[in-house]
Every structure is written in structure tokens, then in C-alpha cells.
């Protein structure tokens, strides 16, 4: 059963949210990446999780059906973590399992560090550590955080040269090309499925415009080195072997800096959620939430 809501998270700011699954089941909050609607979580994955959880996904500010407010009321990335808590508050959820991808993984780390009492478990996908602790390789050598592998330069080039004022079809073409790179080289790219999902997101949003708010928002004050090293929240880190945004060993580093974190590998996965990764990903998340 689908239940849609609008949740007031700040003066003049409302976020669209959707619930699936038994309302009495343990809540599981999905936090998507930057500039991404909650519909970026594929229905197939949401439904698999909803067989055991009250699954909540939502649109960040300046995405989907939520308030687009950055141009008149700029905010910081840390405010987006507060939004996640406000969604839980608005839906009457005291504690939740939280799954975050990309920027959503960073927001989940902020929740881990600042509001551990609100999390049953955390799962982090396609993200980097909010920590200055260096990475210790299996051979004992140490790599400073700033020397971990960078984003694929082809993706950086796309971000730096994004055309403006594209017509709707050209906008879809750009998004598909972008997802082709994010998909990585480990799994065949399903252009038709990606284009259809983006059409759904455009219909959900009501227009094909894209905000750059999350890239321009204040990113300061996000390091949580000591708090992550001391957390008691059970945490799962997903290692995507073909990840182009935070390539290996970013996931391995993330699992090192969070106290007690476990690491699970999804072979062939990149910085996207194509159908072949959904079953192993759902199994890993459910196995993790089932231990709490």
C-alpha cells in the first residue's frame, strides 16, 4: 500500500514523502543522493524492502515535488540531514533503519554521528567517509584521505559542462548519458530502463528543470571523525566494485573509520541502481536490518 504525504520541515519548506509496507513494521528511511528525487530508489528495491519494513522515501529540497527554495533561501548540506529527521518526526517515527546513497550516505553519517538515538541501523552506499582518518591498506601501508582515488574525470567533465536551457528531450538525453557513466563498466547499461525512470521523475516533478542547489550549498562543518569512530549504531557499508564516483577503496576506508562497520561487496555495481544489483542489495540490507 502506498501512502503519500507532504511534511513541513522548515518555515516555507515542505517535502514530498511516500510510505510503502506495513505501517506497524520497523521503519526504514531511504535517503537519495544530491539533486535526486526519492523516485531514484527503484520500485523493485523499495517493494523488496517493504516486505519487511515500513519504507519511507522522500524528495530532498529542490528536487521532485518538494519545495524548490535555494534561490531565495539558501541552505547548508547539514540542513538536509535535519530534513531527514524532520521527515521521521512528521511521520511519527521515533527510530528507523536508514539507508543512504551518495550524498544520502553522507547525510546518514551525519545522523549516525549527531543523532544515533534515532537510528536502529545504517547502510551506506556509494559515498565517502566524513573522516580525516587515513586508510590503512591490507599490507599495512597508509593512504591519506586526500590521496584516495578521485571521481572519474569523464563525470567531472559532464558536471562542469552541463548545458543550460535544454528542451525536455535533450534534457532526457543528457540524463541518460550521465547515468551511462555513473553505471560504471561492470554491468551492461540499460538505456531504455533509465530513460523510462527519468520520464517518470519528470512527470512526478512536473517539469524537466534541474536545480544545482546541492552542488552550491555550503558543505562546511561535515567532518565527524571522532563520532564515527565511537558510534554504537550497527553500520553496513556496500562496496561497489565498478564505482566511478567513489572508487575502491573508498568503501573499505569508510568501513574502517566507522566503529564496528561491516562491509559487503556487490560485484559489478557502479554509482547507480540497475536491476541486476537490486536483489543482492536488498538481501544485504535486509540481512543487516534483521540483526537489530
pLDDT at residue number 286: 98
Residues of the chain with pLDDT under 50: none
168-178 residue pLDDT tens: 999 999 999 99
pLDDT at residue number 235: 98
Which triple of cell numbers denotes residue 170? Answer: 535533450
pLDDT at residue number 2: 85
pLDDT at residue number 292: 83
pLDDT at residue number 165: 85
- Give kind and range of the element (H or E) at residue 45: helix 43-50
The whole-model pTM stands at 0.98
State how far the Cα of 233 lies from the Cα of 281, in Å rounded to an integer: 20
Cα–Cα distances in angstroms (integers) from residue 230 to residues 206, 215, 237, 259, in the given order: 43, 29, 16, 6
State how far the Cα of 79 lies from the Cα of 217, in Å rounded to an integer: 10
* CA-CA-CA-CA torsion sign (44, 46, 48, 51): negative
Question: Nearest-CA neighbor of 97 among 31, 32, 17?
Answer: 31
Phi, psi of 122 (to 5 degrees): -130, 145
Phi, psi of 272 (to 5 degrees): -160, 175
Domain ranges of the chain: 2-289
pLDDT at residue number 104: 98
State how far the Cα of 106 lies from the Cα of 129, in Å rounded to an integer: 7
Fold type of domain 2-289: Rossmann fold (3.40.50)
Amino acid at each position: 500500500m502506498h501512502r503519500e504525504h507532504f511534511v513541513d520541515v522548515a518555515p516555507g519548506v515542505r517535502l514530498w514523502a511516500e510510505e510503502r509496507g506495513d505501517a506497524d513494521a520497523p521503519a526504514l528511511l531511504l535517503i537519495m543522493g544530491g539533486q535526486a528525487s526519492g523516485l531514484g530508489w527503484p520500485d523493485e528495491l523499495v517493494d523488496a524492502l517493504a516486505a519487511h519494513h515500513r519504507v519511507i522515501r522522500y524528495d530532498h529540497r529542490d528536487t521532485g515535488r518538494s519545495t524548490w527554495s535555494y534561490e531565495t533561501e539558501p541552505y547548508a548540506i547539514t540542513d538536509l540531514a535535519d530534513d531527514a529527521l524532520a521527515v521521521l518526526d512528521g511521520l511519527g517515527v521515533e527510530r528507523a533503519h536508514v539507508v543512504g546513497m551518495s550524498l544520502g550516505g553522507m547525510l546518514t553519517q551525519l545522523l549516525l554521528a549527531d543523532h544515533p538515538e534515532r537510528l536502529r541501523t545504517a547502510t551506506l552506499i556509494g559515498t565517502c567517509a566524513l573522516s580525516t582518518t587515513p586508510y590503512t591498506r591490507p599490507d599495512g601501508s597508509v593512504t591519506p584521505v586526500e590521496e584516495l582515488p578521485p571521481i572519474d574525470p569523464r563525470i567531472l567533465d559532464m558536471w562542469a559542462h552541463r548545458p543550460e536551457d535544454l528542451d525536455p528531450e535533450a534534457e532526457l538525453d543528457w540524463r541518460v548519458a550521465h547515468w551511462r557513466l555513473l553505471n560504471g563498466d561492470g554491468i551492461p547499461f540499460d538505456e531504455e530502463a533509465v530513460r523510462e525512470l527519468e520520464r517518470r521523475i519528470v512527470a512526478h516533478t512536473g517539469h524537466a528543470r534541474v536545480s544545482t542547489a546541492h552542488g552550491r550549498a555550503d558543505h562546511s562543518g561535515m567532518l565527524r571523525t571522532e563520532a564515527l569512530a565511537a558510534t554504537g549504531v550497527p553500520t553496513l557499508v556496500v562496496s561497489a566494485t565498478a564505482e566511478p564516483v567513489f572508487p575502491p577503496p573508498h568503501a573499505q576506508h569508510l568501513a574502517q573509520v566507522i566503529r564496528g562497520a561491516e562491509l559487503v561487496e556487490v560485484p559489478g555495481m557502479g554509482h547507480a541502481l540497475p536491476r541486476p544489483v537490486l536483489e543482492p542489495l536488498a538481501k544485504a540490507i535486509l540481512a543487516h536490518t534483521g540483526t537489530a
